[in-house]
Structure 1
Amino acid sequence: MSTESNSTARPVKRFRIGFLSMLQIMLVVVIFLAVNFLSSQLYRPFDLSQDLDFTLSPSTSRYLSSEVVSEREDRIEMTVVFRADAPYYSRIRPIAEEYSRLSKGKIKLRFVDPIRANDLAETLAAEYGIVFQQDLVIIDARSSEERETSTEKQVSPHVNIVKFEDMVVYKTDANNQRRVVGFLGEDAIRAGLVGAIEGKPRKMWVLSDKSDLNAEGSGAWSVLSANLISQNILPERVPLAGVEQIPDDVNCIAIIAPTYDLTPEEMKLLEDFWNRPRSSFLITTGTKDVPARLRAFLRGNGITPQHDRVLAVKSGAIQTAVTSRFTSGVEFTRDLWEKNTLLEGSTQSLDVREGDNALLTKGITPLLLLESWPTFWGETNFPADQVEFDEREDNPGPVALAAAVIRGAPNDEQLAKEVSKMIVISNTGFLEPKHAQPQNLDFLASCANWLVGRDELVGEGPRSLRLYKLPILKPQVSFINRVNLLFLPGFALLIGAIVWSSRRS
């Protein structure tokens, strides 16, 4: 019976099995190639460094995905001319790649080693009129028409050269030697990119004859100017006396720590500027009360600087460094909502009339941006031997420390770009180099960009990569050398001898 069953068994279809096997192999190969192709086109890199050193800041990411970059007809050429063995090549390369990735192809990136690709480097030097004395990044944001008609690229305002010295922070040590203590690759490239796209910086007048703002190159002016320049905003120290009309290309007027009052003619000049479309003011108060005419102007727009000093008493000691909190609700400070900061120096409180119907009917909208902790109050009797809150005279906390004013119709699509804006900060000490803090500088940069109509650059900005040098004494160096040259090799020989002895036995 078994013989019959064997004789009637169906023949093995070897061709069919072979065909199915080949088909499976081909499908596996196709899937493998498809996965590799898709992964090369659609991928998401992850920054695994401890401090996220290669992750771009929220404001930079927001700018690269904004209409300013994404809706450009022509791509931006970014050429990183760095030696492959340069100390910071491993840092600038991933940052530049992130710029290209987040721009979704609008930034065409290429890397050139001027030593290995000498011919290409010479071509770039002749093309852009530069000399490769240091590593640099070339950002070319010209339109296709300008590329065809231009013969000298170096004179185009849409071509920016970001040099290595613009990317690092130097510090002079005790031996009068300069050494690198920080790296600002993202910040420098972003400033160059914004400058290349816009062609020329936005202009801000800083009134030099109305305040005690320190001379250029020191103090608050150095922090203010460096912060504005990194946002492609050109600050100019200008005396208002003698000015007959504010030029149309001035985007903003800054009055920092006003000490001297304006004349009626000067006040009329500022009011005319405020009443024209797209005008803006940046005002910070100082150690003295705001002059009368300027104070009246601010009060008419819903913000009144108070005659007080913001402070608190802790363990019997007067605390004038004001712990404060960024309020939520205003879009251009979203990255800072509910975060704390510290304002050092002299701080006044502000009376911000939010929701005032009389102001709203005039198209004036005051908005609170920053307020103190509830433990701080506005002391009207300062300085004094003893400070104590008096509810009859003092201003109870939390008190307003910074506010914005919008004049116009920001919710109307046709008129939103015509509104005028103002920022009032009741402290100038935060601009001092010894008091400068990242969150305050981000706040200042966001305010400046919002005032000049560049909303896509507001928010948390780039961070400086701080470099630290570990001090090691000569005896410690000698001990480390002995460990590396004697103890470790001796320990390895001992382990080898033990293994050899165990095998012999």
Structure 2
Amino acid sequence: MKTISKNYWKYLFWLGPFLVIMGMVAGLVSAQWGAIPIGLMIGGIVATLLWLLFQAQRNSWWSRRSTQAGTNALIATLAVLVILGLVNFLAVRYPVRVDLTETGLYTLAPQSRQLVRSLQKPVKLWIFDRNQNPEDRLLLENYRRQGQNFSFAYVDPQVNLGLANKFNVQRPGEVHLESGQQRRLLQTVNEQERLSETRLTNALQQITSNFKAKVYFLQGHGEYPVAGESPLAQALGVLADRNYTLEPLNLAQQPKVPQDATVVVIAGARRSLLAPEVKALSAYLNQGGSLLLAIDPTINLGIDSLLKTWGVTLDNRLVVNPAGTALGYGPAEILVDNYGQHPITQDFSNGITILQAVRPIEITPVNGVQATPLLITSPQSWAESDLKSENLQFDPKSDRNGPLTVGIALTKPSSNARLVVVGSSNFITNEQFQQQLNGDLFTNSISWLSKQDAPAQLSIRPKEAKNRRINLQAAQANVLGLAALGLVPLIGFAAAAILWWQRR
């Protein structure tokens, strides 16, 4: 009976690994780690441990030095494997990514992150392309990590014809956004154009929001046109992408500002407004309206009475900064990097806004009006009164020393009326809109004037990789090559010779 029992214990070792393998196979095949796979694996481990105890009692091998050393090595190996497994588990469950690029190329803007996290309903992005660009997929993965309501999928339009017909796909590379019954074409990606965070965030904002706004652009005084090949085409396109409806406004043909006006813009006017027009704008502001004035130097619009009620006075002098010539800019091209604390400029930091031909703005405190300077020139600038002089020199008798305010935001809390005044209008035009923070200044102003103060409504600038390549001249390249092929080996040979001489 004892012999039979010993034989059973002898073969118990083979039962342990066999049960463990059965449990692993059952779990992997069924893709469900239920009671049966776990039970088999636990039974196999218990059987193996019982066999080890039996062998230790039978042969007394535990007291041997070799057994203890082997056991310690086994335990250390298992501990390392467990630690590595835990590290990998934590890395998968709680991933941490660090973007070391200078401009944060692989990090979403704060506006994008906040918007995705606040999505109240599922939104899905469909990319109808058989090829998956790694950069586009990385961008979409960043979006998906921000919230469960955002997802995306790549679809081959030549294979899944039903889905392609549902979205009316016309060409490969189309990107469509879907939320409930709403669908919209975002863009078409190809080798030259990749997926844009700016477009995607703006589209998410539009498809999940009921926000509608109408912006009227005053006409009839030489202002920039809204229709046709307008110098404001880029600025108008950005507003249209954000669900703004854009309309021209001629107050000489109607007695007052339309009731559905969210914002009225006066940009680039060259002639004075009529008295009834000024009266209509004043009534609009008194009722809680919003007005953006972009007025160039030497232009008299005849709205001094309107601005006086806000404490604003337009200076007819021209801001100059001859120090900018060292950077290749003209004296009338003003680089602004000093901003006031306001929602319009809160993300500008030390960025640059470029204004060509700009006038100063003076502020007088008025009860019931809150004024915040937006754009402040450098101390080296001044307001020049002699615009015909070729030799610019500061004249303390007629000129005004910097820093100067050239942009300001005002509000009347009692009526929630808002006003933004900038002493220049060319920063909105196609030639200047994409320069530095010019476009952000305009779009952020419209957002604030629309009473849309949430960060997700503000501008998101595209990120670009900075060129850090070193361009060497022919002589510099030759010197570098000789140093690498001749000087460095020579230094190594000399060091070896010195060591040999010391040890001989």
TM over 0.5: yes
Higher relative contact order (CA closer than 8 Å, sequence separation 6+): 1
CA distance in 2, matches of 1:467, 1:230: 27
Residue 429 of structure 2: aligned partner? 432
RMSD (CA atoms): 3.7
Deviations 1:9-42 (A, max 9, x none): x973799999999998887666555543432232
**1:378 matches 2:416:** no
Q: For residue 92 of structure 2, give the secondary structure of its aligned residue in structure 1.
A: helix
CA distance in 2, matches of 1:430, 1:327: 16
Contact 1:283 1:424 in 2 (8 A): yes
| Deviation, structure 1 residue 311 | 1.3
Residue 219 of structure 2: aligned partner? 208
Structure 1 residues 197, 135: CA separation in 2 closer, same or farther (over 3 Å shift)? same
Given candidates 141, 144, 154, the residue that maps to 1:111 is 154
Structure 1 residues 207, 395: CA separation in 2 closer, same or farther (over 3 Å shift)? same
Residue 336 of structure 2: aligned partner? 324
Q: For residue 262 of structure 2, give the secondary structure of its aligned residue in structure 1.
A: strand
| Deviation, structure 1 residue 234 | 3.2
Residue 485 of structure 2: aligned partner? none
Residue 295 of structure 1: aligned partner? 304
Contact 1:328 1:338 in 2 (8 A): no
CA distance in 2, matches of 1:295, 1:105: 53
Contact 2:126 2:152 in 1 (8 A): yes
Residue 196 of structure 1: aligned partner? 207
Deviations 1:204-235 (A, max 9, x none): 11112233315645463113213323444333
Contact 2:223 2:266 in 1 (8 A): no
Given candidates 154, 169, 178, the residue that maps to 1:131 is 169
* Structure 1 residues 185-264: aligned runs within 5 Å: 185-199=196-210, 201-214=212-225, 216=227, 218=229, 220-264=231-275
Residue 495 of structure 1: aligned partner? none
Structure 1 residues 111, 33: CA separation in 2 closer, same or farther (over 3 Å shift)? farther
Given candidates 282, 289, 308, the residue that maps to 2:292 is 282
Residue 491 of structure 2: aligned partner? none
Q: For residue 462 of structure 1, give the secondary structure of its aligned residue in structure 2.
A: coil
Contact 1:328 1:337 in 2 (8 A): no
Residue 130 of structure 2: aligned partner? 83
Given candidates 107, 113, 119, the residue that maps to 1:55 is 107
Q: For residue 382 of structure 1, give the secondary structure of its aligned residue in structure 2.
A: coil
Residue 91 of structure 2: aligned partner? 39
Residue 416 of structure 2: aligned partner? 419
**1:95 matches 2:142:** no
Q: For residue 333 of structure 1, give the secondary structure of its aligned residue in structure 2.
A: coil
Deviations 1:418-453 (A, max 9, x none): 733221111112223333412211222222222223
Given candidates 69, 73, 78, the residue that maps to 2:120 is 73
* Structure 1 residues 387-402: aligned runs within 5 Å: 387-402=392-407
Deviations 1:121-156 (A, max 9, x none): x3323434x1241312222233xxxxxxxxxx4xx4
Contact 1:326 1:371 in 2 (8 A): yes
| 1:93 alignment partner AA | R
Structure 1 residues 290, 23: CA separation in 2 closer, same or farther (over 3 Å shift)? farther
CA distance in 1, matches of 2:148, 2:125: 11
Contact 1:184 1:465 in 2 (8 A): no
| 2:150 alignment partner AA | I
Contact 1:160 1:195 in 2 (8 A): no
| 1:303 alignment partner AA | V
Deviations 1:42-64 (A, max 9, x none): 223344567644333x3xx2243
Given candidates 448, 451, 457, the residue that maps to 1:450 is 448
CA distance in 2, matches of 1:467, 1:331: 28
CA distance in 2, matches of 1:463, 1:83: 26
Deviations 1:445-498 (A, max 9, x none): 222222223331366623265999xxxxxxxxxxxxxxxxxxxxxxxxxxxxxx
Count the aligned residue pairs: 402
Residue 406 of structure 1: aligned partner? 411
Contact 1:446 1:457 in 2 (8 A): no
Structure 1 residues 432, 11: CA separation in 2 closer, same or farther (over 3 Å shift)? closer
| 1:134 alignment partner AA | P
Q: For residue 323 of structure 1, give the secondary structure of its aligned residue in structure 2.
A: strand
| Deviation, structure 1 residue 101 | 2.1
Percent sequence identity is 18
| Deviation, structure 1 residue 114 | 2.5
Q: For residue 127 of structure 2, give the secondary structure of its aligned residue in structure 1.
A: strand
Contact 1:75 1:106 in 2 (8 A): yes
Structure 1 residues 46, 395: CA separation in 2 closer, same or farther (over 3 Å shift)? same
CA distance in 1, matches of 2:228, 2:97: 41
CA distance in 2, matches of 1:375, 1:45: 43
Q: For residue 448 of structure 2, give the secondary structure of its aligned residue in structure 1.
A: helix
TM-score, length-scaled by structure 1 = 0.69
Residue 463 of structure 1: aligned partner? 462
Structure 1 residues 74, 459: CA separation in 2 closer, same or farther (over 3 Å shift)? closer
Residue 186 of structure 2: aligned partner? 162
CA distance in 1, matches of 2:390, 2:76: 90
Residue 348 of structure 2: aligned partner? 336
Deviations 1:230-289 (A, max 9, x none): 444333223233334544442211110222333333223222322234x32221012542
Segments of 5+ residues of structure 1 without an aligned counterpart are: 1-9, 143-152, 169-178, 410-417, 469-505
| 1:163 alignment partner AA | Q
Deviations 1:363-421 (A, max 9, x none): x1111011111222112232235543232322221111111012106xxxxxxxx7332
Which one is further off, 332-341 or 15-24?
15-24
CA distance in 2, matches of 1:77, 1:371: 43
| Deviation, structure 1 residue 160 | 2.1
CA distance in 1, matches of 2:255, 2:139: 47
